[in-house]
């Protein structure tokens, strides 16, 4: 007889492990099948490693601006990181130590996830699993039947034909931390969130970066004002940004790489990083046998409570393509479990998702977008306040950034916002709370902010919107 579980989860990333924790806490018997390591790609290769790398680049950025704050580093005036070709300065990056730190931190985080699952009594099977029916999973020579199955298998880097990674000079983001040295001249192909984050980080760490964007600008799907600030900062810091340039192929060339662009131009560098998207890891999972529908790109089709087309089978995270964020994966997984065990459940609300692009400065967003307002899809009054006039920003020595609020005309209910600033990821929570709790600009305007603080610009923006919202203009 097959062992029975109440819930079997394929994949131990945030979609899978957060679901496992919820289900176990609700008293279910839970089994997680994980092929590579708990925490998933999120913890081991994607989100956690990249943000760890960025923590180091952030510190380099602070050091780079330190002369302007009155700090003297002997022998160096101004920008302290060594520019390509310049003699090594007193401050530089030890790539081997940096990469070792990134990997160790990821493993430690994975171990923490394992400990939490163990503490909740979740069984973990190491191996690759697949469905043999809507209620049956096979993994590591075992067959487990369950009342509910959750597919949370994530995705893998999309590959470009003619630009296959070799792990040495041509790499995807999962191979970056195996490089022995900091790339001297890094060509980043793809200017979406992942490309922009790595381009920003490596430029600050000391690489000479060329960013290749097939679109008119970097971060084409993000708030236009925010993307323009970031692109401007990139260029000012010496990054080469090639817009409307599609990479046709990448080849090794001696000790470097040659990236061929459509139109015939060639861009050379020491390394090439490919960031051209994620494809769902939904092949060889037995989805068809279980009656689970996927769309034309292979993403599992789900509704707002994470149900697939097969009764009893749920899906969460990147394999659904709903919104490729760890927080969304985790919420989809939790919702699936609440639904599966019959708890009251609120459907996934994408209009409330807070997200950050960890460039320097960071871009954080929540709620409606400027594009939705401009197209008339959302009715809103808007205010945008540059941070250049904020006293705290001046003290900290930065001027690139702004806060933007969207509110409903007349009622003044806050429905979204954008923050472009260092640590915007922390500042956005105030707007997130306002959106979630349907607070009005009036309520925010009457909330105390510390002086001096960047969050003071949020209350100031709300004050300015009070008038506009009242007018309905």
Ligand X SMILES: Cc1cc2nc3c(=O)[nH]c(=O)nc-3n(C[C@H](O)[C@H](O)[C@H](O)COP(=O)(O)OP(=O)(O)OC[C@H]3O[C@@H](n4cnc5c(N)ncnc54)[C@H](O)[C@@H]3O)c2cc1C
The contact set with ligand X (CB under 6 A) reads 10-16, 33-36, 40-42, 46-47, 50-51, 128-130, 152-155, 173, 194, 281, 285, 317-319, 324-327, 329, 358
Q: Taken in order 304, 34, 44, 231, is the CA torsion positive or negative?
A: negative
Q: Which is nearer to ligand X, 154 or 401 (CB)?
A: 154
The distance of closest approach from Cβ of residue 335 to ligand X in the complex, given in angstroms and rounded to an integer, is: 14
The packing angle between helices 326-340 and 14-25, to 10°, is: 30
In angstroms, the CA 110 to CA 122 distance is 15
Cβ neighbours for 119, distance < 8 A, ≥ 6 positions apart: none
Q: Which is nearer to ligand X, 258 or 429 (CB)?
A: 429
**Min separation Cβ 152 and ligand X, Å:** 5
DSSP 29: -
C-beta of 151: minimal distance to ligand X in Å? Answer: 9
Which residue's CB is nearer to ligand X, number 321 or number 416? 321
The CB-of-291 to ligand X minimum distance in angstroms stands at: 18
Please enumerate in sequence order all residues whose Cβ is within 8 A of that of 147, keeping only pairs 6 or more positions apart, or say none: 6, 7, 135, 312, 340
Q: 361 preceded by cis ω (within 30°)?
A: yes
Select 51 or 463, whichever has its Cβ closest to ligand X. 51
Select 12 or 412, whichever has its Cβ closest to ligand X. Answer: 12
Backbone angles phi, psi at 465, to 5 degrees: -75, -20
CB of 215 to ligand X, least distance (A): 19
Shortest Å distance, C-beta 177 to ligand X: 11
Min dist. Cβ of residue 184 to ligand X (A) = 22
String of DSSP letters for 103-136: HHHHHHHHHHHHHHHHHTT-EEEES-EEEEETTE
Name, in order, each residue with C-beta under 8 angstroms of 108's C-beta and a sequence gap of 6 or more.
Answer: none
């Amino acid at each position: 007889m097959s062992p029975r579980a109440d819930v079997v989860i394929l994949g131990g990333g945030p979609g899978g492990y957060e679901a496992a924790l919820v289900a176990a806490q609700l008293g279910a018997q839970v089994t997680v099948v994980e092929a590579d390591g708990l925490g998933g790609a999120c913890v081991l290769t994607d989100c956690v490693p990249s943000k760890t790398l960025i923590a180091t680049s952030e510190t380099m950025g602070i050091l780079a601006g330190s002369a302007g704050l009155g700090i003297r580093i002997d022998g160096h005036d101004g920008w302290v990181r060594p520019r390509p070709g310049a003699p090594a300065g007193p401050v530089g990056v030890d790539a081997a130590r940096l990469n070792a730190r990134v990997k160790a931190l990821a493993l430690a985080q994975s171990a923490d996830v394992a400990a939490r699952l163990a503490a909740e009594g979740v069984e973990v099977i190491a191996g690759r699993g697949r469905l043999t029916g809507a209620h049956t999973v096979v993994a590591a020579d075992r067959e487990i039947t369950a009342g509910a199955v959750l597919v949370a298998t994530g995705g893998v880097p999309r590959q470009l034909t003619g630009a296959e990674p070799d792990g040495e000079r041509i790499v995807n983001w999962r191979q970056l931390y195996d490089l022995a040295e900091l790339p001297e001249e890094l060509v980043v192909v793809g200017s979406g969130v992942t490309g922009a984050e790595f381009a920003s980080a490596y430029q600050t760490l000391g690489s000479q970066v060329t960013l290749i964007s097939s679109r008119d600008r970097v971060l084409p799907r993000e708030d236009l004002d925010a993307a323009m600030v970031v692109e401007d900062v990139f260029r000012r810091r010496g990054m080469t940004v090639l817009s409307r340039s599609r990479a046709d192929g990448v080849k090794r060339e001696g000790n470097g790489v040659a990236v061929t662009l459509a139109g015939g131009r060639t861009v050379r560098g020491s390394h090439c990083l490919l960031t051209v998207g994620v494809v769902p890891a939904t092949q060889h999972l037995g989805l068809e046998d279980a009656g689970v529908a996927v769309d034309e790109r292979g993403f599992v089709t789900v509704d707002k409570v994470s149900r697939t087309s097969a009764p009893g089978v749920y899906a969460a995270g990147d394999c659904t393509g709903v919104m490729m964020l760890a927080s969304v994966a985790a919420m989809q997984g939790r919702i699936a479990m609440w639904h599966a065990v019959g708890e009251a459940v609120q459907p996934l609300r994408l209009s409330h998702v807070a997200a950050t692009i960890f460039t320097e400065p960071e871009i954080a967003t929540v709620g409606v977008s400027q594009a939705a307002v401009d197209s008339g899809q959302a009715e809103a009054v808007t205010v945008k306040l540059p941070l250049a006039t904020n006293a705290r920003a001046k003290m900290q020595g930065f001027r690139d950034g702004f806060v933007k609020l969207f509110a409903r005309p007349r009622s003044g209910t806050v429905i979204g916002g954008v923050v472009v600033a260092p640590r915007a990821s922390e500042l956005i929570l105030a707007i997130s709370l306002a959106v979630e709790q349907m607070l009005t600009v009036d309520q925010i305007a009457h909330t105390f902010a510390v002086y001096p603080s960047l969050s003071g610009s949020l209350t100031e923006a709300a004050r300015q919107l009070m008038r506009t919202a009242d007018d309905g203009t």
